[in-house]
Amino acid sequence: MEQTVNSKIMLIILAAGVFGILNTEMGFIGILPYIAEHYHVSIVQAGWLISLFALGVAAAGPTMPLFMSRFNRRNVMVFILGLFTLCSAAAVFTDNFYVLLALRVLPAFFHPVYCAMAFTVAAGLARPGEEPKMVAKINMGVAAGMVAGVPVSNFLAEEISLAASMAFFAIATFTVLLATLLYVPSMPVKERLSYGSQLSVLKKPSVWTSIAAVIFLNGSIFGVFNYLAEYLGAVSGIAPTIISILLFVYGICNILGSLLAGNLLTVRPIATVKAFPFAAALIYLVMLMGGSAWPFMGAVVVFWGILAGINGNINQYWISRAAPEAPDFANGLFLTAANLGCVFGTTVSGKFIEALGTSYVVLGGLVFCAVAAVILWLQCSNGKIARQSSRKIIRDALS
């Protein structure tokens, strides 16, 4: 019972930590206009705070989790939460935009380390075969951070001050830091994997095809989602207030989708993965035909939000499944691939908007769904052939 209680507390703290870090990452989206005004920079310059953070995460994804995989995980988590807290607290008092930019970019390099370790530790707490359920609970923290960050930071900046938003980020990570110090036990790495042995997973073709699958899966969702507010206004004719509500509903459904994914990937993992791009493509075809009808789009947003929550879990599951011998490194690769997918998907969908108009942004999503489906089905077919060959070899040897 003691072990069960400790596992539950650990999961809550890990999910809260991921929430705090994602909240810090996404929350800046809600305060960009206030930053531009306060620091006397253009909105494009203020956007560097978002793009450079994402670039830092993408660059550090395959390297930093690998480098820090041999250190005591509790100590690493305390360090990262402390760094996020310190940088957010310092941001409250700086009046120099470039200092703010530095305070923003520095912790970004440690973002994938904390998230990768959280996924690994959560999977380690699970009973055999139930790892996706534990990881799904961490992904709920990811989804919650994405949901809460933007509206809360925007509200605080509007009603109180920009400094209050920065302080909110610091308080969120500091609270988890205290909980980690109080309740998380020492977690030394029992079997230290050499950097070479972890990097050797890159020799496996299945790892590279899994990375490609995740890039296209994440691109299929975020390539369209990043233009959702514009789509709902320009195509569906929805008022700004209702758009804000729908975006919040999308985020809540994202959390529900993450919870659902834990069960699906435990019971029917391969079927869930293979069906996903077709389900996402169906949503986009529906939007293409009926996106101008606002009540109808409200229902679409609900189902799309659930699918997006499932998507995050599929991405993590698919890469970690390809490299189970190097879990921290695999989770870092997942974070990099997911960020690259977001960038590529947004770029391609943006090209469709420029060429054909906002209503055709879903064509970018359909392209990414199609490529993801091909990669996943080829992977699954090759895996089936490999398993059949292995069984034949065993039968021949026994006979």
Q: What is the pLDDT of residue 191?
A: 66
Kindly give, in sequence order, each residue whose CB lies less than 8 Å from that of residue 287, ignoring residues fewer than 6 positions away.
231, 297, 300, 362
Q: Is the pLDDT of residue 3 over 70?
A: no
pLDDT in tens, 260-294: 888 888 888 899 999 999 999 999 999 988 877 77
Tell me what the pLDDT averaged over the chain comes to. 83
Domain boundary among 137, 166, 191: 191
By the 8 A CB rule, do 78 and 18 touch?
no
pLDDT in tens, 172-190: 999 999 999 998 888 887 7
Q: 27-56 burial by CB neighbour count: b if 16+ within 10 A, else e?
A: bbebbbebbbebbebeeebbbbbeeebbeb
Q: What is the pLDDT of residue 192?
A: 64
Higher pLDDT, 217 or 399: 217
Q: What is the domain extent for residue 77?
A: 1-191
Kindly give, in sequence order, each residue whose CB lies less than 8 Å from that of residue 367, ignoring residues fewer than 6 positions away.
348
pTM for this entry: 0.75
Q: What percent of the chain has pLDDT over 70?
A: 92
Q: What is the pLDDT of residue 195?
A: 65
Same domain, 178 and 237: no
Q: What is the pLDDT of residue 122?
A: 83
Same domain, 197 and 180: no
Q: What is the pLDDT of residue 383?
A: 58
Same domain, 57 and 187: yes
**Cα→Cα distances 198→144, 194, 332, Å:** 31, 6, 12
Same domain, 227 and 349: yes
Q: Is the pLDDT of residue 83 over 90?
A: yes
Q: What is the pLDDT of residue 81?
A: 96
Q: What is the pLDDT of residue 64?
A: 84
Domain boundary among 163, 191, 219: 191
Tracing tokens 């110090």 back to the chain, one arrives at: 181
- Look at residues 284, 30, 42 and name the one whose alpha carbon lies nearest to residue 148: 30
pLDDT in tens, 303-356: 998 998 899 889 888 988 888 877 778 878 888 888 888 888 888 888 898 888
Same domain, 241 and 179: no
Same domain, 365 and 317: yes
**Mean pLDDT of the 28-50 span:** 81
CATH number for 217:
1.20.1250.20
Higher pLDDT, 129 or 90: 90
Q: What is the pLDDT of residue 398?
A: 34
pLDDT in tens, 358-395: 889 899 999 999 999 999 988 887 755 334 333 433 34
Domain count, the chain: 2
At 194, the pLDDT band (50, 70, 90 cuts) reads low
Q: What is the pLDDT of residue 395?
A: 40
Classify 354 as helix, strand or coil. Answer: helix
Higher pLDDT, 387 or 259: 259
